[in-house]
Amino acid sequence: MALERVVDPLLDLMFDAGVTVQEFSYLIRKRAVRNAAQRLANESGRISKSRTAIATGLTRSEVARILSARDSPKRSSPDQHPARRVLAAWYDDPRFLTATGEPAVLPIFGKRLSFERLVSMHGGGIPVRAMLDELVQIDAVELLTDQMVKAKSRVPILSGYTRSAITVVGERGRDLLDTLTKNVKRKLQPLFEATAMISDADPKMVSLARKEIAEQGASFINGANSILNRSRKKPGRAIPNVPVKCRLGVTIYYFQDEIAISEKERLEDARGRRRNLRRR
């Protein structure tokens, strides 16, 4: 249940950023192998492919392949998002480029130089109309007059998903999960983590609560910055026997979602909940 709750927001990010389940699966296997191998190396001083295979549940051959592989991304892969393959071919395949090397403006339908031909070659069996609707929705192409289509973006992601924004998602998510998992393992001096939450908020009060929490959060972060700045290492001062730097930080975040209520709960809210009185 915990993993499902963690994975669901990642799936939303994946779908919006054009990452396929196959790519996500490979990423999980790669990170699992390298993480497990590093943990075992820290314990025993060497990397054991057999013990890594046991820890991850993968075959020894796959462990060996992942450990020996480099992190150079492939130019195109059958596992990539179909929209990404289509756009990559539109920008790279000479048959769909202009004389100056730009993606050509294509007719939607046609047997030779057309968007239909491009999708049939690189879309993995996706119908041309479905692919066109998807690319229009994510603003990667522009529909012109006379059933012509023009490429606008090589990377098929929703507007707002910039490189820096996605990087922040990874960094903030990693720090939060790292704190929670470390606290599960720690017996003494847990890292600070606290949550204030209610599940029956008045919708009329939500905007006011969000505004006040933002103001109080900004005030707290300003105070935390002062504490952290006082904790900086003084320039020119050598600290003996300290081989690494120490990263400190605190993040405040607000969350809000809707919870479906049953018909019984709706009726109780409408007439007021019954109070069960007890004899004192």
pLDDT digits (tens, 9 = 90+) for 170-224: 899 999 999 999 999 877 788 999 999 998 888 899 999 999 999 999 999 989 9
What confidence score (pLDDT) does residue 243 get?
65
Q: Domain spanning 82-151: which CATH class is it, in words?
A: mainly alpha
Output the average pLDDT for the chain: 84
Q: Specify the length of the chain in residues.
A: 280
Which pLDDT tens digit goes with each residue over 55-103? 999 999 999 999 988 755 444 455 677 888 899 899 988 899 998 889 9
Instruction: Reduce the secondary structure of 162-178 to three states and give it as a string.
Output: CHHHHHHHHHHHHHHHH
- Say if residue 195 is exposed, middle or buried (CB neighbours under 10 Å; 0-12, 13-18, 19+): exposed
Where are the chain's structural domains?
21-68, 82-151
What confidence score (pLDDT) does residue 18 get?
77
Query: Letter for the amino acid at 248?
Result: L
Task: Tell me the two tokens of residue 55.
Answer: 């820890």
Query: Letter for the amino acid at 237?
Result: R
Integer Cα distance of 255 and 245 in angstroms: 32
Can you tell me whether residue 54 is helix, strand or coil? helix
CA–centroid distance for 224 within its chain: 27
Integer Cα distance of 46 and 240 in angstroms: 28
Q: Which pLDDT band, with edges at 50, 70 and 90, does 277 fall under?
A: very low
Integer Cα distance of 191 and 180 in angstroms: 8
Whether the model pTM is above 0.75:
no
Query: Letter for the amino acid at 131?
Result: M
Which pLDDT tens digit goes with each residue over 221-266? 989 988 988 888 777 666 666 667 788 999 999 999 887 766 666 6
